[in-house]
Structure 1
């Protein structure tokens, strides 16, 4: 009998593991092979029972729907033998006198089984305990595709009220507390700290308040009875029947940094990663993610069957590398700093007095994102924009807008000019593909605006900035800034940026090097505008002009120096005379 591949959902997929061998006797629906595509791993079950006589595929083969995977020997004959044996056994059992059976010595296992049966019959005569309805609840819309469970604020068995915070979810730029969807007792928590979760994923089971209290009392008596029964059974001699199947020990997944195995302080190249990971059990999508993160996949522990590495294992490895203080530089991880551990600073004669301060939650969440900058070849282009006339225009407009409750700052002009420049130079409004072979151009300009708060830097986003006027942009800048400082930004306010502006305003400084916010390819920094002497050729004299320093950092893999110089000068020209945007 031939077992063929079912509809796989894709044209073809790779055989990642063969779960049976020739000679194995399998049942219907037993898994026989594991196949993987770029997006998923699927275990293919057998459509019939029998003995495996031939395996027609090998690990690494590409299979498609209808392809013969294995061949089985029909087990009808073995079924017949089994039936004959069963009938003989039944006949023999009928011939044994009842009295003999009663007087026959019993094993401890048989006695225990009879005791359990009697206990069950006794329990049937008791009033039925009131059982509550346990409701499984799914996560609400998080505003992002996935986020990490940072903290679980409750435990199983706790009583919670509706809207009580029970879970803390963190993405790259924000923390969100998930409230309890109803009041009651927590029956089971389906996620754990460090898990990556998505919208609509089941995360908790809660028993409603009206039945939780009643069940607690009944559960207590059941536990006492079960405890008494177990103590009585424990006093009897225990024997182990070697013929019974043993339960396999639960595998403990331990993610370690493997620092001692590291031999290089630099990020592995793609060819080096591919060469070292040839023997690692991981699918194409996982290997692709490892190359993107710069992770040495041979140092990652797999948690799936046969130590297969999942995407979650990569994320856990990266997180562990961040949190573990190593005695030597780690190799091939996406978030290490290539620095040794701090020296022991307990000796005050050498180091003096020290004080430890915890980072804010926002700062901790930002660290993984900032570490990506280590692997971006960044260059910064500097320029000056003469905003003397633009500042005069702002002075004429700000009084009227202030009466409307709108604060008109130079940042609104910078956002508008930069958004227009990005439509004319779309390569700066793009992302580099994972395989480094394509540039993904964004058709809309979602402008990230860096805002300093007491907890750290946060970057809310103005959507479709290219379609908005300076007044509307000024309104949204003010609203986002207030929400950021009051910690009322939603995750949707923080996602989707295609380019970022970081303005130091009146903080001082002549220029700085802003860090590109991956996966973006550019960021524009603006420092404090100051008066400079400028030569007027027509008047043959110097005159004071208000000059705004601009600092453009860019990903050199996507943008070259000449294009960066042209773009920065174009933004400077638009800021000097915003009327050009109308053309």
Structure 2
């Protein structure tokens, strides 16, 4: 008998939620065939069968949260399975073929009541894509007829009182645990700054005129990387057990991204080695994957510093962001608005001002160092040409 256990599918992972089984007791499975889908705090993943055989027992249920090492399923090795005559053992029609589709595509189908096995895939090798599922949903849709209750000359729409329970599981639960761990472990301290982004916005407009689009986040990432070279203490990990602060050479910057299933942080790797155009393209690709829940574990792991740009959402002028443990700091960008500002000539001018919030681990860094960090970052953003001097 083979025990299929939840293994560590990503760094720091300790548990996951069971979201879906692709097989049932009695099904024959082939080696490496997906048999169960799980949700961690960072991604949806499929666990494959380690060997070919027959499913003898499913130990846990859908919706359960289990720890790494927990037995999920028991499979009888194919080499020990006794093949019965066809008249005694009917062929399992449900396992006649393997369905090729990503976990996110399967999720779309399940949530919309679509039998994914009945869809003809349009992708390479017959792989079923998101659009294949959406097309099936559209073809299954029918007009909704609403019956109205009419009393005398007044239309009455009956409303029944009800309460709604929102499940606290899956990514939402995992996010909660990660945030709690961070707050309990790290003594947070947050300071705020106001940065003039007028020149940065002007440069972006000039680039657009040349049909070159570079996002503000790309400039932010590059400025942070240059600032981390000056203040490497913020690109570090505190190893309490060995009583040492480990400074990291590579800048792997996480981008907090709001998705339908909750917050996720894709990581742009080696920002110190990439130019603005490369950063813009990579961030665009990662953000798209995050919104479609298609990020790999490598794309959400190993971050050394995180940014959160909530400015485009509007309304936010400040926050006390929670650090992405075990990192040392997080920089959050807020609403940008035009304001009257007194310049060096004592003239009142209109400038575009952006608020930032920086949370840092007070065990590792003092407040004065954090202020110097944001001052240096602000210098680069307010005078983008200074970036050229540091890039030489």
TM (normalized to structure 1)? 0.48
The alignment status of 1:384 with 2:190, answered yes or no, reads no
Equivalent in 280, 292, 299 of residue 486 of structure 1: 292
**In structure 2, the residue corresponding to 1:552 is in which secondary structure?**
strand
Using the TM superposition, give the Cα deviation of residue 203 of structure 1 relative to its aligned residue in structure 2, in angstroms: 7.5
- The structure in which a higher percent of residues are strand is 2
Change (3 A) 1:510 1:208: same
In the TM superposition, what whole-angstrom CA distance separates every residue of 1:78-123 from its partner, at most 9, and x where no partner exists?
A: xxxxxxxxxxxxxxxxxxxxxxxxxxxxxxxxxxxxxxxxxxxxxx
Equivalent in 148, 151, 161 of residue 15 of structure 2: 148
Using the TM superposition, give the Cα deviation of residue 164 of structure 1 relative to its aligned residue in structure 2, in angstroms: 5.6
Alpha-carbon distance in structure 2 between the residues aligned to 1:505 and 1:136: 49
Whether contact under 8 Å (2:318, 2:334) holds in the other structure is yes
Q: 1:273 — aligned with what?
A: none
The alignment status of 1:515 with 2:322, answered yes or no, reads yes
Using the TM superposition, give the Cα deviation of residue 409 of structure 1 relative to its aligned residue in structure 2, in angstroms: 1.6
Alpha-carbon distance in structure 2 between the residues aligned to 1:149 and 1:167: 12
Whether contact under 8 Å (2:8, 2:68) holds in the other structure is no
Equivalent in 55, 61, 65 of residue 186 of structure 1: 55
Whether contact under 8 Å (2:200, 2:381) holds in the other structure is yes
Change (3 A) 1:140 1:148: closer
Change (3 A) 1:174 1:197: farther
Using the TM superposition, give the Cα deviation of residue 166 of structure 1 relative to its aligned residue in structure 2, in angstroms: 2.3
Alpha-carbon distance in structure 2 between the residues aligned to 1:386 and 1:476: 26
Using the TM superposition, give the Cα deviation of residue 436 of structure 1 relative to its aligned residue in structure 2, in angstroms: 7.5
Alpha-carbon distance in structure 2 between the residues aligned to 1:354 and 1:203: 36
The alignment status of 1:477 with 2:279, answered yes or no, reads no
Q: 2:27 — aligned with what?
A: 159
Q: 2:124 — aligned with what?
A: none
The alignment status of 1:441 with 2:313, answered yes or no, reads no
Using the TM superposition, give the Cα deviation of residue 212 of structure 1 relative to its aligned residue in structure 2, in angstroms: 5.6
Whether contact under 8 Å (2:17, 2:40) holds in the other structure is no
Using the TM superposition, give the Cα deviation of residue 177 of structure 1 relative to its aligned residue in structure 2, in angstroms: 1.9
Count residues with an aligned counterpart: 311
Whether contact under 8 Å (2:29, 2:55) holds in the other structure is no
Q: 2:170 — aligned with what?
A: 361
Using the TM superposition, give the Cα deviation of residue 353 of structure 1 relative to its aligned residue in structure 2, in angstroms: 6.1
In the TM superposition, what whole-angstrom CA distance separates every residue of 1:320-342 from its partner, at most 9, and x where no partner exists?
A: xxxxxxxxxxxxxxxxxxxxxxx
Q: 1:131 — aligned with what?
A: none
**In structure 1, the residue corresponding to 2:313 is in which secondary structure?**
coil
Q: 1:168 — aligned with what?
A: 37
Using the TM superposition, give the Cα deviation of residue 507 of structure 1 relative to its aligned residue in structure 2, in angstroms: 1.3
Using the TM superposition, give the Cα deviation of residue 148 of structure 1 relative to its aligned residue in structure 2, in angstroms: 2.5
TM (normalized to structure 2)? 0.70
Alpha-carbon distance in structure 2 between the residues aligned to 1:419 and 1:185: 52
Using the TM superposition, give the Cα deviation of residue 579 of structure 1 relative to its aligned residue in structure 2, in angstroms: 2.3
Q: 2:143 — aligned with what?
A: none
Q: 2:208 — aligned with what?
A: 398
Alpha-carbon distance in structure 2 between the residues aligned to 1:140 and 1:557: 33
Aligned counterparts, 1:299-310, within 5 A: none
Alpha-carbon distance in structure 2 between the residues aligned to 1:521 and 1:212: 57
**In structure 2, the residue corresponding to 1:479 is in which secondary structure?**
helix
Equivalent in 56, 68, 74 of residue 196 of structure 1: 68
Structure 1 stretch 415-424 or stretch 174-183: which is displaced more?
Answer: 174-183
Whether contact under 8 Å (2:253, 2:271) holds in the other structure is yes
Alpha-carbon distance in structure 2 between the residues aligned to 1:546 and 1:409: 16
Alpha-carbon distance in structure 1 between the residues aligned to 2:319 and 2:13: 33
Using the TM superposition, give the Cα deviation of residue 356 of structure 1 relative to its aligned residue in structure 2, in angstroms: 1.2
Using the TM superposition, give the Cα deviation of residue 354 of structure 1 relative to its aligned residue in structure 2, in angstroms: 3.6
Larger radius of gyration: 1
Change (3 A) 1:413 1:167: same
**In structure 2, the residue corresponding to 1:158 is in which secondary structure?**
coil
Alpha-carbon distance in structure 1 between the residues aligned to 2:304 and 2:191: 19
Using the TM superposition, give the Cα deviation of residue 206 of structure 1 relative to its aligned residue in structure 2, in angstroms: 4.4
**In structure 1, the residue corresponding to 2:306 is in which secondary structure?**
strand
Q: Which has the higher contact order (CA 8 A, sep 6+)?
A: 2
Aligned counterparts, 1:72-111, within 5 A: none
Whether contact under 8 Å (1:188, 1:206) holds in the other structure is no
Alpha-carbon distance in structure 1 between the residues aligned to 2:53 and 2:342: 76
Alpha-carbon distance in structure 1 between the residues aligned to 2:181 and 2:205: 41
Using the TM superposition, give the Cα deviation of residue 359 of structure 1 relative to its aligned residue in structure 2, in angstroms: 3.7
In the TM superposition, what whole-angstrom CA distance separates every residue of 1:493-517 from its partner, at most 9, and x where no partner exists?
A: 1000011000013212212121111
Whether contact under 8 Å (2:29, 2:49) holds in the other structure is yes
Cα RMSD after superposing both structures: 3.4
The alignment status of 1:466 with 2:272, answered yes or no, reads yes
